[in-house]
Amino acid sequence: MGPVVSLAMIRLYDTASREVRPLELRNAGQVSMYVCGPTVYGPPHLGHGRFALVFDVLRRYLIWSGLDVTYVSNITDIDDKIINLAESQGCHWSEVTEKYEAVWYDAIDAIGVMRPDVDPHATAYVERMVELIEDLLERDAAYVSDDGLYMSVDAVDSYGLLIHQSLDELMVGGGEREIVGGGTKRHPSDFALWKFVKPGEPSWPSPWGDGRPGWHTECVVMSLDLLGDGFDIHGGGRDLAFPHHENERAQAVAAGREFAGHWVHNGFVEVAGEKMGKSLGNFTTLVDLISKRDPRSYRLLVLGSHYRSPVEVTEATISAAEHALVRLDTLGRRLDRLGLGDVQLGATGPDQDVLDSFRSAMDDDMDTPAVSAQIFGLVTRINRLLDDGDEAAAAPLAAALLEMLRAVGLTLSTADDEVPVEISELAQAREVARLEKNWALADELRDRIADAGYSVEDSAEGPILRRN
């Protein structure tokens, strides 16, 4: 059985209006989402993993709620960084993009992110980008300069909407962050639409000379081409709101097109309170994390922090997430042994009060920290009922828990070999020794458990055993 579709629509913070407001759909029952994807010139870092997880959770929840979701996320396969890396390695630029696109998909597959319905590649849309630039020229919203073509931002009255600053305020703050072409721009915030080719660079034909599109032109063309005017959600990391998303929006507005209805941006990944990124020297790859730790731990860590807030990724926070997963997996195996591991349990089905609380939290700007608390509160309640032998009362709670996990994309690992009876007995004997404060015996039993290839973790629900 599927969930009962909530009558209340999800409310999300909109960067443009600076308020949490209902997600208004262009077409009833259908959601169109465009989320800026990676520039494929290196392994994804943890910030890439976070945006992929945040929007995967949103996408899964909308689908679970009964909505038809079209999810588009692009691949930027032509960029200065790609060209520079190819030159330094003495290879063709396409070798770089093919290699790192494969790395990208391997990584997001590992953390359980659903692949996009469509993943447009920038190089496949260059002709359409040229058409958009021609339109902007005809509307006097763009101009030709020595090194390329630029967007004239003063042609857009609302420029600065996503950063909530006027052009004058942006001038005071330093204007456009991209220095390229600074000497040939009419306004400091003008940005490149087309870059004339330099020796050795890849290029495409245009009416103004061979070259390649600017980054900001790529996504506006791909999103409008695939999703149409007025699509519902445009998302990405908070660092993309300005200048990238603002410059996308400016081109659409100047061309007379209706762009995204709702802007959603997730917060940064931090280490010791500092934003994680390559330029800051605290870069850690997503590939490193999933090769050393349970890939599900990153999803659980992301769920535990509100999507608009920073999330700190350290050995300690990942370890805590892994320990929490042990609790979930242990309950999952217990439910399987009792025949309660199916989401379709009995005639009563999932506990509707529990699911209503879950929906309420998710509909309130994706309050996943509240959902995480609900999940582990249920783990405690279900274990206590099972300890008391009350499987009938535990069943609808278990069904609700499994529905919630499915809705946020968190899977249980229940296929592990069952812990041998003798090891379980040692763990229970150690628990008795702990309660009696016989620490010497408790330590001895822990060592015996470790010698057998298991570790034991103390929890409110009793000892949790895990194969080393």
> What would the DSSP string read from start to end of 126-157?
HHHHHHHHHHHHHTTSEEE-SSEEEE-GGG-T
320 touches 312 (CB < 8 A): no
Whole-number Å distance between alpha carbons of 49 and 40: 14
* pLDDT for the residue numbered 421: 76
Say whether pLDDT at 448 is over 60.
Answer: yes
Which amino acid makes up residue 189? S
List of residues 6+ apart from 44 with CB closer than 8 A = 38, 52, 103, 104, 107, 108, 285, 286, 287
* Tokens standing for residue 251: 């081109």
Residue 353, classified by CB atoms within 10 Å of its CB into exposed (0-12), middle (13-18) or buried (19+), is exposed
- Please give the DSSP secondary-structure letter assigned to residue 364: B
43 touches 103 (CB < 8 A): yes
CATH topology of domain 314-407: Four Helix Bundle (Hemerythrin (Met), subunit A) (1.20.120)
CB neighbourhood size of 177 (10 A): 11
Q: Which fold has domain 11-266?
A: Rossmann fold (3.40.50)
Percent helix, strand, coil in the chain, to 5, is 45, 15, 40
Query: Residue 137 is which amino acid?
Result: L
Per-residue pLDDT tens digits for 387-446: 999 999 999 999 999 999 999 999 998 765 567 878 888 888 898 888 888 999 988 998
Whole-number Å distance between alpha carbons of 290 and 107: 8
Task: Indicate whether 174 pLDDT > 50.
Answer: no
11-266 matches 314-407 in fold: no
pLDDT in tens, 184-235: 788 889 999 999 999 989 999 999 999 999 999 999 999 999 999 999 999 9
Extract the tokens encoding 346: 């009995």
Q: Where are the domains of the chain?
A: 11-266, 314-407, 421-467
C-alpha pair distances (Å), 35 with each of 32, 120, 126, 235, 264: 10, 11, 19, 5, 9
pLDDT tens, 74-113?
Answer: 999 999 999 999 999 999 999 999 999 999 999 999 999 9
Q: How confident is the model at residue 344 (pLDDT cuts 50, 70, 90)?
A: very low
Q: How far apart are CA 334 and CA 397, in angstroms?
A: 14
Cβ-based neighbour number of residue 377 at 10 Å: 13
* Residue 178 binned pLDDT confidence (cut-offs 50, 70, 90): very low
pLDDT for position 346? 46
Alpha helix segments (H runs only) across 65-92: 80-89
- Contact of 148 with 233, CB cutoff 8 Å: no
